[in-house]
A and B are shown apart, each in its own frame.
Chain A
Amino acid sequence: MKKNDFAVRFAGEGGQGVVTSAEGYAQAATGVGYHVQTFAIFPSQIMGGPTWTQTRISTSKVLSFGDELDVLVAFNQEAYESHRDQVTEGGVIIYNSEGFELDSGGKSFGMPFDELAKSTGNTRAANMVVMGALAFLVNMPQSILEQFVAARFTRGRPNDEEIIQSNIRALTLGRNEAARSGFRLEELAPPQMPEGEQILVNGNVAVALGAYAAGIEAFIGYPISPASSILIWMEQRLVGPGRFAYQATSEIESINAVLGASYAGKKAMTATSGPGLSLMGEGLGLAWMAELPLVVVNVQRGGPATGLPTKTEQSDLMIALYPAHGDIRMPVIAPGNVEECFHGAIAAINWAERYQGPVILLSEHALSERQQNIAKPDPSKLAIEDRQVYRGANGFQRYESSELMPMPVPGHAGSYVANGSEHDGVGDTTHLGDRHIQMTNRRFGKLKLLEDGTYESSNSAASIAIMPWGGSKDPALEAYRRLAEEGEDLAWLYTMFLNPIPPALLDELRQKELVLVPELNYQGQWSSVLRSQGVKAESITQYAGLPFKVKDLAKRISDRVRIERKEGVPAV
């Protein structure tokens, strides 16, 4: 029997090639038709510090990055010590024998990464030495890696061929070392090409691509981990007549400039993380009050304050729903995987333009860094919504009706005041109680326009349901499937549309005797929101800065289900 699934972790110091090894491996594997997912943990510093990345390749769609390691590549002793326990029975550890030496035996073998690289004439090829060894261990044909190397280093420079050849020599050296070690894993089953063309992107790129496809025209942001890569992406690509990306001097400046751009008629967006979202709160209240369409992408990290800038957490749900003072409740879309990052970004921009107000796209660190192959989107098949623009005469009362009216654009007739104070139909300040009632009803009433979110529901007859949100979706789905295979009778409910939640889904949720919510925060934020809407929800929480491990999560779900069914929990 061949393996269908293979997880390898690269661990070492920042700058040692840990990231390029994992990404190169992912690109090589997807290139020949495997499904792949990567996960990365970086320290918050430019150079050095312990770091690791993990690549899981599989013959079918990959839901999580893998609990147990088939191979650990340890670039130094510290990495070896920290990660060795997570290598599965029958797994292998490859370590850099330049830094340290282990007694022979066990499941480890050493090779001098840098020395071998040096002998090829290319000191930067250490990661290729590692990849060559890995390919041998799982019986991946060397030709696949050679193709990858040729594609990666063909850059139109005179020394391209020289670099390609030295990298191929490095692959071969690694391969030979692995062969000499005597270790061999089960052979990886041949890939089954995913249907249709694929692209390999991480969550932040998927968000940026989605926004680009949705016709974003103005992006103004401020650097912050782990959202900066969206700003950088936009600075490079959102250029040309009538559109722009720009780095502001703070998140306060960003949100207010985005408000201005939206008011001027642009599809506008910013991206930030927790601390930035805190600073944007007042501006988001203004967007809600003045009814200006815009999207804030919040890539969650560990909080509060500066928190854990390079770790993952799902603890910004409450501030996403209620980022400002006063009677507000923001539309929130929380993508569950890289593919949903793309479609969630489009939905967020569509929603903003449709209901003329702010929308939060709630991503998270684990998604932002996760490389995953997804179906290549066809732009001609995407539903993109544009703003309804007022083209009538002056004297227009934009806010007067309880119905949504088209938005005037400066430069054309229909002048009004976009006002953060309570206002009348044309936007002039008012203090009348009746007006505040009318306008508050109007602002909340518009949310009805957003009740078109889709959702997933399977085995819906079961009385206990699993309902994760955001990036906990895929580990929870993998755990759910394992439990279902074991005969556990559970329902699966999921949506990325957290507010407003699709009404039919809410009906289903309310019928359940128990809804278990796996989520990465201490307080159980989503279950508390569900409880406030009449759902018997309870969280399974984790707040270690890391995503759920499928095995742990399956056990915790199963234990809780047994208690519910009064079956007793088996001793560990």
Chain B
Amino acid sequence: MSAKNPEYDFKWCPGCGDFGVRRALEGAIERRRVDMELPIENNVVVAGIGCSGNLVHLIEGPQPYGFHGIHGRSLPIAMGIKMGRPDLNVVVVAGDGDFLSIGMEHIAPQAARNLDVTAVIMDNGVYGLTKGQSSPTTVSGHVTSTTPYGKVEDVTYPLRLYLTMGVSFVASGISSKVKDLSQLITDAMNHRGFSIVHVQSPCTTYNDTYELLKGNVKKGIDPVAWDLPDDYDPTDIEAAHKTVNSDGVPLGTIFRDDQRSSFDQRIAAIAEKAKPRAVDKVIASYSI
């Protein structure tokens, strides 16, 4: 809401990957508005806490609804919104610290429910806003302000986790390929169920991984990120497991299962079966 709001003084650092993610998300929301003829107010962006969460204030143009809650709890908030209003398009924007550290406990339950929400995760492998502490996706041994002798833990592999937890749509993107990313987010939004688009979104200040991800021919560095082949079948769970267990960062839709009913469909099915009773009838059931 805020490009022109003088009071809002938050800025992403120059070159931050989150700029690209924001453009990709804006594009996906705009495409949805045009294609489905739904007003922009039908979209709700639920933000985590961190650099990435500030995306909700930095969207340009027509404004969706926003919810900037507390650290790690964007998924439960999104669940409540979606349960209350299944017709809304609910998008979570959060970082690796918010989503995979403090918020980790909320991913598996949403996978089991198949909550129809799209989570766009901006992974920069570090806590940026609090100035450079170790996160779950920081590589083992890496020196940060809280790991002066190198990170003690092994690195977390988010894509493997999502797949194992039963997330019904798993995609992987990179912030520098805005057009591809926007398409992944659109596909995720159109998927009826829980979708995660996990985005490599480098932090130019504390963990600049652009070169690592994209490679550098002059320096002889091979890119870590690689595109899924054209004939890749995302409905094949075995292929998906192979993909997330292979080296590097695969880019594209890794897995999707469109057969499972979504959480709101399950709740609606209960509502259809149930016989709600009027207040006076319920009270009368306790008559002496």
Contacts and interface: CB of A to CB of B under 8 A. Distances in A.
Q: Is A bound to B?
A: yes
B288 A30 contact: yes
Contact of A259 (B63, B69, B85): B69
Given A199-B287, A410-B65, A416-B66, A428 B88 contact: no
Contacts of A418: 66-69
Contacts of A429: 8, 10, 54, 57, 68
Contacts of B66: 415-419, 427
A200 B284 CA distance: 10
Interface string A214-255: 000110100000000000000001011101101011101111
Interface stretch (B197-205, B226-234, B271-279): B271-279
Interface residues of B, number: 55
Interface stretch (B38-46, B175-183, B184-192, B238-246): B38-46
Contacts of B1: 415, 417, 426-428
B83 interface: yes
A262 B80 contact: yes
B79 interface: yes
Given A199-B287, A249-B109, A415-B63, A239 B83 contact: no
Given A394-B63, A411-B88, A435-B7, A197 B287 contact: yes
A411 B105 contact: no
The winner among B8, B73, B106, B287 for most chain A CB atoms within 10 A is: B73
A200 to B, nearest CB: 5
A257 B117 CA distance: 13
B5 A411 contact: no
A474 interface: no
Contacts of B5: 424, 426, 428
B149 interface: no
B282 A257 contact: no
Given A415-B63, A418-B67, A431 B80 contact: no
A190 to B, nearest CB: 17
Contact of B271 (A241, A268, A377, A426): A241
Nearest to B8: A428
Contacts of A253: 76, 79, 106, 109
Contacts of A252: 73, 76, 105
Contact of A373 (B46, B68, B288): B288
A412 interface: yes
Contacts of A250: 105
Contacts of A427: 1, 66, 68
Contacts of A408: 65
Interface string B253-285: 000000000000001001100111101101110
Contact of A249 (B84, B105, B283, B287): B105
Contact of B68 (A268, A417, A432): A417
Contacts of A217: 84
A373 B287 CA distance: 9
Contact of A410 (B8, B9, B42): B42
B78 interface: yes
Nearest to B280: A379
A interface bracket (residues with beta carbon within 8 Å of B) = 35 or more
Contacts of A410: 41-42, 44, 65, 81, 85, 88
A213 B277 CA distance: 11
A212 B284 CA distance: 13
B64 interface: yes
Contacts of B57: 417, 428-429
Given A394-B63, A428-B8, A258 B70 contact: no
A213 B283 contact: yes
A201 B76 contact: no
A412 B41 contact: yes
A473 interface: no
A205 interface: yes
Given A249-B105, A282-B70, A264 B81 contact: yes
Contact of A430 (B8, B41, B69, B286): B8
17 contacts: A200-B288, A243-B276, A248-B109, A254-B76, A257-B77, A263-B77, A285-B70, A412-B41, A417-B57, A420-B68, A421-B68, A424-B5, A426-B5, A428-B8, A431-B9, A432-B7, A435-B7
Given A263-B67, A376-B284, 15 more contacts: A199-B288, A209-B286, A239-B275, A248-B76, A256-B69, A259-B77, A260-B67, A260-B80, A264-B81, A264-B84, A415-B63, A417-B67, A426-B5, A428-B2, A429-B57
Interface of B: 1-2, 5, 7-10, 39-42, 44, 46, 54, 56-57, 63-70, 73, 76-85, 87-88, 105-106, 109, 267, 270-271, 274-277, 279-280, 282-284, 286-288
Interface of A: 27, 30-31, 197-201, 205, 209, 212-213, 217-218, 220, 237, 239-241, 243-244, 246, 248-250, 252-266, 268, 282-283, 285-286, 290, 373, 376-379, 394, 408, 410-421, 424, 426-432, 435
